[in-house]
Structure 1
């Protein structure tokens, strides 16, 4: 030792949202090192993180995701994932989100909690109905809470769809429905 400091290893973390600006760095990505379901979700611009619980979560926005996971815990469930559909919760993205959540055999219910600020709730509701019809029998209860622009119309679309989907207006009502379906 000659009393010099030497770096023998390094770790670099890259923001996935910035990769499009750095194709040279993106080319170095090794998806075999990543969770395959998370990679698949990323292909549809869905932000997905698997957790160990029994209630699938589909939300728009990280803050709402955290509140949703908290309310699931308070209702006696445990979040099975963090899945953020972002600001464009159209039928295609909602369908892919359902398919990704349903890959987890531990999921016993799905809570969809969307705030319609940019995205209209009636469009999300129609996306949920279309996605459900495209997938076929989903096999687990789905609780949907849509708040914001056109929320009343959205609840009407869900309620009149004839599908096995429970709608809720308030977050505590959604939590109660989660508790009921898990009982």
Structure 2
């Protein structure tokens, strides 16, 4: 009956390996050292209809939607100078800006990162935004050859959706190359 003492040990071992790994909790707005609130705006002098317009959201898609209020966020610092752009005001749930998609073209959306199940082959990034100072430019993973683009919205005829486009992305839809910059919200 030596094997009976091995059963609890095997059960304990199986349970510990099946446990999910703890996720890094984002810094809450109440406990962060920098309480500054920011907006994102489009910098595209060659596209006057988009230039200097503040980003907003329609459902969870971030873009330029004329009937929606400007999106506000605060920064939560991450390793390697990357950051999470957490939405403000804070509600019952934590929301953040994410890039998600496939085939080198990624939607900028707001979501609850803790509740997302990422399907194989899909990119989902919440804490890899980089902010350049002093230009104020926002990028993803610091990629030099990739860029923000604005696509006409299929849901709002007057709106535009913001996406991140890698150089190898193929699209037949019209889009405008833009820069996304952050600015402090004056309270």
Give the TM-score taking structure 2 as reference length. 0.27
Bigger radius of gyration among the two: 2
Larger relative contact order, structure 1 or 2 (CA cutoff 8 Å, min sep 6): 2
Higher helix share: 1
Give the TM-score taking structure 1 as reference length. 0.28
Higher strand share: 2
